[in-house]
Amino acid sequence: MADGKLASWDMKRFLWDHVQRLPLLMQDIDKPILAAIDGPAHGGGFDLALACDLRIASERATFCATYVKIGLAPGNGSAYFLTRCIGTTRALDILLTGRVVTMKEAFNLGLVQAVVPPERLLEDTFEYAGKMAEWPLESLRAVKRAVYHGLHSDLRGHLDYMSSQLALLTQTPEHRKAVQEFANKNKQNPPR
């Protein structure tokens, strides 16, 4: 940028051909994507963290949308993702001021699911991921898709989509096994 190389159509092509491919790819991944944040997630790092489905951060991490500080606007998805995470007014506050968001505030806003000591960040993130990994992958995929589909559809269309997903999920071995285990448990412990 300092050399004037990323300007005009060069900037557009650079973003579209390189930078913006990442959030699009992440959106297409059916598995949950977790970010472990241990320092400043500013500018592009902020965009990348927001493109993840869930975020766990150390106490020393910070968020900042630095774009207005250099006369730009968020071009890699933070305006899109941040608004969906915390609402329009709060997103505008962060994006228009370029202020640094501490992890205490990020947790209170719902931007991160947990704030942990730096030395526990990876351990706690893997533990959190492990809780999800206990469940059938097809179910996790369907839940992720359901949430994102719901953001872009009306209720009728969403319910129609979900009835199709549930019809397919009832055919998975994991679902059949879970139903059988539940039925067997109720036979052994009938209600009184």
Q: Give residue 192's pLDDT.
A: 67
Does 3.40.630.40 match the CATH number of domain 8-133? Answer: no
Roughly what angle, to the nearest 10 degrees, separates helices 78-86 and 88-97?
Answer: 140
CA 158 to each of CA 65, 151, 152, 163, 185: distance values in angstroms, whole numbers, following the listed order: 32, 9, 9, 9, 33
- Token pair in block for residue 96: 């228009």
Q: What is the pLDDT along the chain (192 residues), one digit of tens a residue?
A: 677 777 788 888 888 888 888 999 999 999 999 999 999 999 999 999 999 999 999 999 999 999 999 898 888 899 999 999 999 999 999 999 999 999 999 999 999 999 999 999 999 999 999 999 999 999 999 999 999 999 999 999 999 999 999 999 999 999 999 999 888 887 777 666
What letters, b where the CB count within 10 A reaches 16 and e where it falls short, cover 91-109?
Answer: beebbeeeeebbbebbeeb
| Domain regions of the chain by residue span | 8-133, 137-188
Give dist(CA 50, CA 43) in Å, integer. 11
Tens-place pLDDT, residues 128-160: 999 999 999 999 999 999 999 999 999 999 999
Which residue's structure tokens are 């059916």?
30
Q: Give residue 80's pLDDT.
A: 94
Q: Are strands 34-37 and 54-58 parallel, antiparallel or unpaired?
A: parallel
Give dist(CA 15, CA 160) in Å, integer. 35
Vertex 138 angle, CA 137 and 141, to 5°: 85
Sheet with 62-64, side-by-side order of all strands: 40-42, 62-64, 100-102
Sheet with 34-37, side-by-side order of all strands: 34-37, 54-58, 114-116
pTM of the model: 0.86
- Token pair in block for residue 61: 């991490």
